[in-house]
Every structure is written in structure tokens, then in C-alpha cells.
A and B are shown apart, each in its own frame.
Chain A
Amino acid sequence: MAFFARFTDALARLRRAPVQLTSTLLWNSYFLAPWLKNVPCPGFNCYSCPLAITACPIGTLQHFIIIRRVPLYLLGVLGLIGTLFGRTACGWTCPFGFLQDLLYKVPLPKWRVSNRWAPARYVIFALLVVIIPFIALEPWFCKLCPAGALEAGLPMIALQADLRELTGLLFAVKMVILALFLLWMMVTSRPFCRFVCPLGTIYGPFNRLSGMRLHFEESRCQHCDLCRHVCPTGLYPPEEIDTAGCIRCMECLKACPHGALQSCATGTSCTERSHA
């Protein structure tokens, strides 16, 4: 377990944007290893993107539901990622999460949306990823997915003239959904992760079970609320750190001047970050 304590502490000392940029480039470097498409991506990244190197876990899950097979390998890999790191992939390696972090920097008036709408992502998961594909035999999350529209729809239409003639109402709907999400991402922090993302929905419950953990040490808290202002998912870290909505970005650990938010590992004592 010493590994998790060391890993988490090392991660908490890194700047997130360079790690996110590197992973985004890595998951989209098809020319490096085209054979990696048999591996599910830890983040949300459309496999129909001409540059994608790995398989989108949500597209793959729908595919297995449609062909009526239990996806042991896919669920095993996602379960392993969740069991080891919880939702850390959301905060550090997800290309769509990175896009949201970038767009939120656009200087526009901000719109705070309450997390009481967060359970919507469970409904979206159940309906669009499981139930409707099972009944309709079509991947309905993919059909509406804004990441697919951005990473596959637009580049493929630009690259292949013959595909342009096949676009119709669904393409228009997809573009409208994409435009609305891009606008929403500029005014609300991480709206897709908080209210929609099926992959975050799968990883979320692992935050309470994983080897890697984040922890609030009440005796150190001075109630200055600095952590509340940096959380990209709108959580109140003293009460909600490491809940299913926490993407383990560790911004709150960095912001807390009193070491009240700490990284740790399951079954061990927590490590206070040094603020030297």
C-alpha cells in the first residue's frame, strides 16, 4: 500500500494541465500503435476519431450489450482502474475532461449549477447506455454523444467527402448537442463530467473502495473555504472529497493552507502535503 501513498502524493505535487495534455496526445496518437484498439481507454475518447489509439469504453460497452455478450474483459479493465485509482482518470487523463477545463477558462460570466442534478448521470447511463441499446440494438449514447461529434463527426466529414452526402437529421441533432455542451462548458465547470458522463458514473463508486484515497482531517480545518472555490466539480471538499462526484484532481489539496485535505492509501495513515 506504500505505493498508493507515494503515487498519490507525487501526483498531488504535479501540475495537472501538462499531464492532461500529454494523455490527450497519447490517446490520440494512432500512428504510434494502431493495434492498441483492443485496449479500452481509461478516459472518455471516441474510437472513431481518426487519431484515436484505444477503444472508447462506453461505445464498447454498448456494442457488447447489442451483441448480447457479457463484456468480462472490458468490465474487468474498468474495474481494475477503478479499484486502483477510483476516478483519478477523470481529473488527470480524460481528453474530454481536459477540454472542459480549458473551455471554463474562457472569460465569460459563470453559471454555477447545483450538484443536486448530478444523479441525472445515472439515469442517462441506464437509459442511453444500457436499456435503449439493449432494446433498439443501436448504440444510442454514441448517436447523441458530443465527444463523438467533435472527435469523429467533424473530422470524418471534413476528411471524407462521400460521408458528407450521408448526413441528415441525426448529424444536425448531434451538432446542436455539441454546440450546447461547448457553450455550457464555457460557463459551468465540468458539466459533462458532473451530469452526464457514463464513464465517470462507472468509476464514481470506486472512490470509496480504491487503493488510492483522499481524506479530510477535521482537526486541521480552519474553515477558510479556500478549497470550495477551487473544486472544478462544485463539491465542498471537507464533506464531499472522495465521494462519487470527486474527480480526484487534488486542486483542493493544493489549495488548503492547513494540510486538512490529504492523500492516502487504503488501510494506511494519510500523508499531509508539505506547503513549503
Chain B
Amino acid sequence: MDKRFWVLLGLFLLMTAAGLLLGEARFVFANASLICLSCIGIQ
């Protein structure tokens, strides 16, 4: 078994869980739901 794989898996699972607990999914949703003028090429 590759130890590095399990360490990375654990680390990224923790990061995801911590981010979710801190409510980051709401920031992601809010940003992705706006019409991004930069994406369109305005400004």
C-alpha cells in the first residue's frame, strides 16, 4: 500500500469537510450563480 496516497486522501477529505463546515459552499454557489462580467468580457 502506498502510504502517501492514504495521507493525501485523509488530508483532502479533512480540507473538504473543514471548508464545508465553514460554509464555503455558499461562497462557491453565490459566486458561480452571478453573471460574471469578466467571463463575458465586459469591464
Contacts and interface: CB of A to CB of B under 8 A. Distances in A.
B5 A83 contact: yes
Interface in B1-43: 1-2, 4-5, 8-9, 11-20, 22, 24-29, 31-33, 35-43
Given A1-B1, A40-B28, A267-B1, A71 B39 contact: no
A73 to B, nearest CB: 3
Contacts of B5: 83, 209-211, 266-267
A43 interface: no
B24 A266 contact: no
Contacts, number: 145
Contacts of A166: 37, 42
B22 to A, nearest CB: 7
B14 to A, nearest CB: 7
B29 to A, nearest CB: 4
A39 B43 CA distance: 27
Contact of B40 (A157, A173, A209): A157
A221 interface: no
A5 B8 CA distance: 19
Size bin of chain A's contact surface: 35 or more
Contacts of B42: 163, 166-168, 170-171
A138 B36 contact: no
Nearest to B12: A79
B8 A209 contact: yes
Interface stretch (A14-22, A89-97, A145-153, A252-260): A145-153
A157 B37 CA distance: 11
B28 A174 contact: no
Given A142-B36, A143-B41, A38 B29 contact: yes
Main secondary structure of the interface of A (DSSP, over half): helix
B6 to A, nearest CB: 9
Contacts of A47: 31-32, 36, 39
B12 A73 contact: no
Interface in A112-170: 138-139, 142-143, 145, 148-149, 152-153, 156-157, 163, 166-168, 170
Interface of A: 1, 35, 37-40, 46-48, 52, 54-56, 59-60, 63-64, 67, 69, 71-77, 79-80, 83-84, 138-139, 142-143, 145, 148-149, 152-153, 156-157, 163, 166-168, 170-171, 173-175, 209-211, 266-267
16 contacts: A37-B33, A38-B25, A38-B28, A46-B39, A47-B32, A47-B36, A48-B39, A73-B22, A73-B25, A76-B12, A76-B13, A77-B16, A138-B43, A153-B41, A156-B35, A211-B9
- 4 A-B pairs closest in CB distance: A73-B19, A76-B16, A76-B15, A79-B12
